[in-house]
Amino acid sequence: MLDRLLRYLSVVTAFGAYLMLLMGAIVTKTGSGKGCGNSWPFCHGQLIPQSLPIETVFEYSHRIISGSVGFLILVLTVATWIRYRSDRKVKTLGFLSLFFVILQGALGALTVVFEDTFAKQAALALHFGFSLISFASVVLLAVHLFQMNKADEKTRLPVHRGLQVGVWGLAIYTYLVVYTGAYVRHAHATMGCGYQFPGCGSHWLPNFVTPSGIHMLHRFAAISLVLFVLIVAIWIWNQYRQRKDLVHGVNAAFVFIILQAASGVITVFTGGQVLAALLHTTLISIFFAILCYLCMQVLNRKSIT
């Protein structure tokens, strides 16, 4: 009974972590970061603000959701640590979930006092990245809780160390690409190339400190990421067909990276509309969680050197 409750709690917490990411994207896209002024954790120094313009609603809702999700992660982490005290994976994923949700909250508080500077833009990009790690960690913890005692014999087959390096390298590179995308948003460079795609006016290599250059840097990183995913997918399709967990995982990763690329094009053609930006955030969050799942699966057993 307790195991079932913890599994349900992990699903609810993972969904909450997704809402936290989504609300952060809404705050950024609508320019609501100063909706509560320079005060934190309350809004304009009040528990319930007297005035509630839309930017205040967005910013304060984000803070409330983040605080609630942080509490759920704390409860889930402590409960799973107690229930599965000998499971190293539960301890690691719980720690990562809790550590990065606290870190992103602290960084979010710091950005409140920053003015519109490079430091603020970089801090906001890090804020999203840390939230993404927390989300992925909660998702993996939920997956692990559901997978307990259900391992298929074929998932016990080891993989070559080269594939482990490739999958982990792909996840790390994806995380770096995510930061370029977050920086595009926070540097207000979403429409740095206007409505043009795949080019950027007459310049394919604009100055990378300009809005167009920041935008193109993210495009180049995203295109190379698609190729990286394809290489890893072909590797798994050819050599690890018997590992259904890896095949299903890389199939999902390939589908979501294509959808992510398409949503990026849609964002450009729609002039950076909020719904397109939220779709972009949703897809990259799911894609990164899938890659983290693959990282976990390739390390399940001893590798072949």
Active site residue ranges: 59
Q: Taken in order 112, 118, 119, 123, is the CA torsion positive or negative?
A: positive
Bond prior to 206 in cis (omega within 30° of 0): no
Under 8 Å CB-to-CB from 57, ≥6 apart: which residues? 35
Question: How many Å apart are CA 104 and CA 114, to the nearest integer?
Answer: 15
Q: How many Å apart are CA 155 and CA 304, to the nearest integer? A: 14
Instruction: Enter the tokens of residue 166.
Output: 């490739």
* Alpha carbon of residue 201 to chain centroid: 31
User: Which residues touch 4 (CB under 8 Å, ≥6 apart)?
Assistant: none
Which amino acid, one-letter code, is at 285?
S
